[in-house]
Amino acid sequence: MTDTSNNLEILKQYKQALLKGLNDRQLEAVEALTGSTLVIAGAGSGKTAVLTRRVAYLISKGQTPGEILCLTFTNKAAREMNERVRDLLQSIKIQLPYVPPWKEDYLTNPLLATFHSLGVRILREFGEKINLRPEFSILDLDDQKKIIRRIFKELNVDKKKIQPNLVSYFISQCKQELLESKDSRRVSKDFLPIFHQIYQKYEAILQESSIVDFDDLLLKPYLLLKANPGVLEILRNRWPHIMIDEFQDTNEAQIELIKLLQPYDLLRKDPQRSLFVVGDDAQSIYGFRGSKIEIILNFEEQYPGTEEIILNQNYRSTQKILDLAEQVLTHNPKQKKKALFTENETAVDVHYYTARNDKDEAEFVIRTMAQLYCMPEEAEESSGSEDDIHLDSSDAQAAPTPQRSVSNDPVSSMFDLYLDDESFSPSASLQNYQPTSWSIPANIDWGKVKELDSTAVLYRTHSQSRAIEEAFLQNRVPYKLVSGTRFLDRKEIKDVMSMLKFLANGNDKVALRRFLPLVLTGVGPKTLDKIMAYLDDYEYPLPPKHQEQLLHLINKLQTVWTEHTRLIDLTKDLLVASGYARYLKGEYPNKDEYEARMENIGEIFSLMFPFDQDDQIPLAERLNQFLAQVALMTSQELNEGDDKTPKISIMSLHQSKGLEFETVFLVGIEDGLLPHINSLIEPGGVEEEVRLAYVGVTRAKKHLYLTSADSRITFGQIKANPISRIFRPFLDTYVKRTK
């Protein structure tokens, strides 16, 4: 056999290894290597397998790894895909050299990153062309609001009339629509003239301090590439193959950036280029963040001749769950049809429970978990019992009508409009509630029920977690509440990060403003303004006492900076030299609380550790890369020292996206909650609520329980809401009622 035939045989074996186990449509997607391809990936259809195998397949066919750019929406997803690609390539004896993710490498490794981290890379490399220093800082939301409050003070804006959050939202909307302050009046919503003035001042403050906010990481690369054809040419040649995950979540700025990097005309002319996007229009639920479902629905209009591939074989859920999910989507006629199916032979009914109130709803969750996990045989027997409650129209008509509460509260009274809905009849259980045949067992050691880790309670609004948490606490059920509060948002963490930001970027006056009052004695708001004026112009008449304090501190910081080559050692010394450790002791005199704060700061060292493994990279560069990585992290990417006790997860539907659980309780399926009250007056609002319900349903692998309550406390009053219009038509057909 010749060398050529040997090589062909090896390539054939490699191809078989990389494509093994893919179904026909997944295979078709992986082998679509040129032009534009849109993959509509239904829930649980293996989209990550398609993306990672396509990257590995391109490399196995001789594509230079660094010429592949794969974009997603979380650092966690990017890391996981990177690991899977490396494992796939190792299986066919292709070893990519390890390069730390913060190092620039556009040759030996594909770049799997988020849109925002791509923006950081572009701005670090080329930002000086738009007068942005390479060591720029990334502003967080807390410091952004502080800047806006300062501008309020300058412009004599009454915070009671205009909320800083609304101004922050306005600025974000402008930037997501690629509008600088000079163009902000073109934003699609009506805002007061003062909003545009604030945006202009806000933009100037950031420019002066070499700071960018989160939205700038998309806006500024777009503006840079539009104004610099030479840079655009470099990046187009760098990444001939571009892939995008979660394409349904893209906003205007992101799609316009992609259209610059991979324009249709260039894609059509060059057969060695490709644009490969994967998403599920049915899971487009981030309209409030600026994502537009029209981007995925109209992709073929932007890129004519696009090949569309639909992945509709589900590897996660039972068919009964998928059938309900498909029915939910019938409310939205514009969705792309998928007809999800599975070869999973497990047949477990989807159940629905009408609770008397939110307390009963929470107790139902615990009773059901006890049946499933502690008495599995009884649970199987009862799941198809004829004793399940089936409320027909006669039951509903005979039921008493709940007492309507009278309120002048405009917020809570919004929920009353549902009581006028002709299709609403409260269930017979509202006042004639009969307790279940057995109560919650008191002797269950929930800490040993390992199935809790694969169970979740999902809700539409965070206020719904209150009753759930109370019931779990009373019954000693371990749980973890997945909230929007990040480890990095704790005060002491933000204080230390502000000092590190100032060391990295001496122009960062926002960071300086944060920590100076903490480490200098006798510095209040007025003195701080004088200090900042003095730093702008050293002729400013700052009292000698404060001059001396300030210069002494700056000298200490410079000494700390020059004496260290490792980030961890630098930060430890910084805590003492700056006086911040002393400040914490004074602020938290209780020993346990002080030590807890210091332990939190110690968690930063765990994040720094990988950056200290290569002393060949200058400390300044490593610090900048560390600060950028931390700024782009989300709460779900941080390990907060959780113990190994099994815990049930409690989270909002938005937070559940991308996750899966063996058992899911979707609580509060009521009009006013899901769909949310606000969705009824927002264009496309109800459609997005339908997609949100679809996401919730498809998180479940085996057991799915839907619950509503005949009454619940809302805004301090007892309210009665009808069963959700999203699920109402499918009860008793696709869902089995239970008690």
So which residues are the catalytic ones? 47-48, 245-246, 283, 699
In angstroms, the CA 498 to CA 515 distance is 7
| Structure tokens that stand for 546 in this block | 């404060």
In angstroms, the CA 204 to CA 201 distance is 5
In angstroms, the CA 350 to CA 320 distance is 7
Do 499 and 649 meet the contact criterion of CB atoms below 8 Å apart?
A: no
Do 245 and 280 meet the contact criterion of CB atoms below 8 Å apart?
A: no
Which residues are bridge partners to 69 per DSSP?
111, 242
Write out the DSSP string of 330-388: TT-TTSPP---B---------EEEEEEEHHHHHHHHHHHHIIIII-HHHHHHHTT-TTS
Q: How many residues does the chain have?
A: 739
Q: Name the residue with tokens 């899966």.
A: 660
State the Cα angle at 259 between 235 and 101, rounded to 5°: 45
| Structure tokens that stand for 671 in this block | 């009009």
In angstroms, the CA 237 to CA 553 distance is 47
Which residues are bridge partners to 211 per DSSP?
137
- Between β-strands 700-714 and 351-357, what pairing exists: parallel, antiparallel or unpaired? parallel
Name the nearest CA neighbour of 510 among 119, 181, 159, 138. 138
In angstroms, the CA 519 to CA 341 distance is 62
Phi, psi of 578 (to 5 degrees): -75, -20
3-class DSSP assignment, residue 214:
coil
- Between β-strands 700-714 and 661-666, what pairing exists: parallel, antiparallel or unpaired? parallel
State the Cα angle at 677 between 690 and 389, rounded to 5°: 65
HSE at residue 381, side-chain half, CA atoms within 13 A, is 4
Structure letter (DSSP) for residue 429:
T
All residues at 6 or more sequence positions from 608 whose CB lies less than 8 Å from its CB, including other chains: 567, 568, 571, 626
Rg of the chain on CA atoms, in Å: 28
